[in-house]
Structure 1
Amino acid sequence: MPEFPEATTIAYQLKQYLNIPNNNNSSITLKKINIYKESIIKNIGLIDEIINRDLQEVSNYGKIIYFKFKDDYWILFHLALTGALLIKELIDLNKINYFEKYKIIEFVFNEIRDGNNLKDKIILFTAKRLFEKVIFIKDNNPFKKYGPPFNKLKPIDFINILSKIKKPIKLALMDQSLIAGIGNIYAIEGLFCAKISPLRKACDITVQEYYKLYSCLKEILKESIKNRGSTISDYVDALGEYGNFQNFHKIYNKSKCPQCNNKIKKIKIEERITYYCPDCQK
C-alpha cells in the first residue's frame, strides 16, 4: 500500500507534468472527466461543479494525493492496495494497454499558455482490487479527520502526539488520525533503525528513544523518496515505473537480521504483518 514516499513521488511527477501556471494569461482547467467504474467514486454529483475550474495545486497529505481547484473544490485519491495515477502520454504503449484494463476514471485537462490553447493533458486512475477511492469534495479543510503529516512535524510535536498513547508504538505510528503518512513498511523499518520493539506501548518509550525514532523515520522516508518509493506488489509511479527502495529495506520481508544475523520474527499486530528482531529491538 503506498505510503508517504510513494504518494509524494506521484504527486511531484503530476505537479511537474501539469505545470500549474502563475500568471493571469495562463491556466490549466479540468475540461472533461471520463468515468469507467463508479463503484469507488464518491460524491459523483459534484463533478459538474468541478468541470472547467482552474487547477490550483497538486500535492499529497500523508498517503492521500489531491488535486485542489478554485473555490475549495478537491479531488482526493486513496491508492490503497492497487491504485495508480498515471500520466497517459508519458507511458509506454504496452504498459498503457495493460493499465487500461483496470481503468476507473480519466481526467482531461485543458492548458492555456499566454492565451494559446495547448494539447490536452490526460491523467488516468486505475485500480485492480477496487479497495481504492476517488473522492470529490467541497471543503476548506478536507483533511481534518487526519493528524498532521509526518513531514510537517518537529521532533517535539512527534513526541507530544505519541507519548500519551497506550497502544503498541507500531499501531500508533500507523494511526492516520494521529500522524498522517506512515504505514506498515516504514513503521517496521523505522522501529528497527531505532532499536525499538513494535510491541512496546507508545507511552512507555523514552524521550531519547523518540528522538532517535523521529530521526530514523525522517532519513528513511527521505531515502525512499529519492528512490521513488517501494514496490512490494502493485505500486508504480505516475510514469508506470516501479519504485526502487524495496532493495534497501533492512528488515521488511527479510529472514535474518542484518545486524546480529539472528532470525527475524514475523508476527501479526492487529492483523498487520510485522517484522522485528527480538534481540536488537527492545
Structure 2
Amino acid sequence: MDDDVQDRELEAKHRALWALGDYRAIADQLVAPLGQVLVTETGVKPGDRVLDVAAGTGNAAIAAALAGATVVASDLCPRLLDEGRSIAAQREVELDWREANAEMLPFADGEFDAVLSCIGVMFAPHHQRAADELLRVCRPGGSIGVLSWTPDGFVGRLFATMKPYVAAPPAGVSAPPLWGSEDHVLGLLGDRVTDVRTERRGLPVDAFDRGEEFREYFKANYGPTIAAYRGLGDDRDRIAALDADIDRLADDALQRRPMEWEYLVVVAKRV
C-alpha cells in the first residue's frame, strides 16, 4: 500500500478512535489535574504564545489560557475540540481551537514560545515525526513540555493487557506508553533541546472500588478500550478473558488506596 494512503487511513482510524465513548468524562473526572501540572512545570506565563498538541478537551490548553497565555489547542478529533470549546466557554476563557494532526502541524517554524502535550502526543502513531513537529513549531529558547503515561505505570499496563486482544499495528507504529520512558523521549528530542528535566509522578485516582467497576467505566468511555472490545465481535470467550484480565489489573492496583497512575513529565528548552 502507498505510504500516503496508509497514513491517511491511519489518521482516519485515530480520529474515529478518540470519538468513541465519552473522553470528556475521563478528562473531567479522572485526569483533570494533569493539565495544570504541565503548565506549571513548563513555566507558562502571561503573554506567552502556547500550542497544546493533541489537546483533547483542553486540560492543559485551558490551564495555559487561565495563566494569561495566548493559546492554540490542536487535536485530530473534531468532537473533542467541540467539547473543549464548550468547557472553555463555561469557564469564560478564550483560546483558539484547531483541527490538526500532531505529525503534520499547520503552523510556522518557531511560531510558539511553549509547545505542550498532556497525555496526547503519545498517541500519535509515528513518534519521531510527532517529536520533530513539536520542536519545529517552538521558537529557539522556547519550552517543550510533554506529560505521558509510563509503560510500567497503571495505564501503560492497561495497554499491555489489551495488546493480545487487538490487531497488530502497521509497521513503523510505536506503542504510546514509550513516551513515558525517559530514554525514548530523550532519543526523540536528541541534541535539539537543552536544560532537560524529567520526573515521574503519580496521579491519585479514587473513583473506583472494584476492578469490575473500573473495567465497565473504561468499556463505556475510553476509546482504546471500546475499540479493543469491538474488535472481538461476538467472541464470548475472548470477551470474558479480556474482562478478567482488566479486572485483575485494576484489583491489583486497588490494593493501594487511592490507585496511583504513574506519568512522566519532560520539560526542555529548544536549542
Q: How high is the TM-score relative to the length of structure 2?
A: 0.25
Task: Name which one, 1 or 2, has greater alpha-carbon Rg.
Answer: 1
Flag the structure with more relative contact order, 1 or 2, with Cα contacts below 8 A and sequence separation at least 6: 2
